[in-house]
Structure 1
């Protein structure tokens, strides 16, 4: 009986293919790579931010600035004499030699939300509702210098997280210039997502109290704004919208206040002294609460 070879077909040595399995495998690889890149970018933020030049910091601040006022529920005020007063006070509170290559810009926002924020590039935002709540220049100075502390440490940039890479990409592509790239900037900046760590808040607090003590010779009355709003929030935890907006990005605890008192004692800073009043009619545009438009 002779050997008769079997006819070879095209299917020999060809594995069976299941398109669904192949698609699932490919999708799994893509998702895994995406998660790895996402994780790496998150870790890279704290390394990348300190490497940014002052010029890049300023540019990022310029890109973000137009998106801040709408997120605070208002609009920027132009040509208000209160800005000059606040800007001068801000400069006086700056630590010597700190932020030397970054100009400070005080932005006043007309809104009913009590808030103050500093993001990047020397851009600091203060709301009119906040000015209505201030009862002394000492407490005003502490809030401003606290925000200076965040600017000095670039906490605002770090809090953007992976969004910082979106911003850097927009700078390379020249987005966010002259009104372009609005969607990119809106995605990157969300004030409701900006949460500072306890260490960042403590550091900004210490910066702020040191600034106040250096400027006034003591830290008395400087914490009154925080203490007052904290008491209101505790009494009406669900109802004080105007107060809670500030705490959403600046969580305040009794431990922070006690920490500041401990730092003052440790450094030998006086916490008693004369109160410095704010200018009359600080709560009103151009310091003119009594001005009646109908009389003009």
Structure 2
């Protein structure tokens, strides 16, 4: 199945961490699209964009489970902004202990040479995240300058804001899509068996995607996971490239084959979605 590079970036990171100790890795991610059907002006002249989501986890969540959000600018093949099949990923992953990691791009990757996620920028949130409560994760990036801007993590008892401006966005690998789009993701990841806890899943809810136009942030994508599902459909990719006309605007897709995604009756404002990375499940 066709995969989108930001999550491949995360897979690469997880796999590299795991391979050092000969351990398996797993990623579970959703993806949705905003195309010229809804954001034509932005895609003609891309600039800042933001994704935010609320995440919840149990007190028995393993210490080595990562979770986060991602927004990507896909340039397409027909009228790319810089080069054909460009894809720039603004992705962040965190742990309950407050570890943060961002894939860093380079001048070469911005010129069209995939960087394979050789560089990851480590950060510290400066605090731990409490279990059994909702935390808001907001990531902002600029797809004109191709740099991160800001990471905000809001909890009931604290608000953390990291200035991540100046960190270049990654271009992990070419993406064969015919047109321009923004893609939105929530995800969980594991490298190796669970440590420090038995549970391997987090719950997301109330996802929002925004673009910055005419001096204001405008919401262009929302997902509340309130429609129960048995199985999410995969991205409708057909060789040699994905045709955006075959994609349903704003529809939730399964990003990768081995993703464990389940509809949750528990959410922040209704239902939510479970992203599980249990390595023992098929």
Larger radius of gyration: 1
Q: Which has the higher contact order (CA 8 A, sep 6+)?
A: 2
Which has the larger share of helix? 1
Which has the larger share of strand? 2
TM-score scaled by structure 2?
Answer: 0.23
TM-score scaled by structure 1?
Answer: 0.22
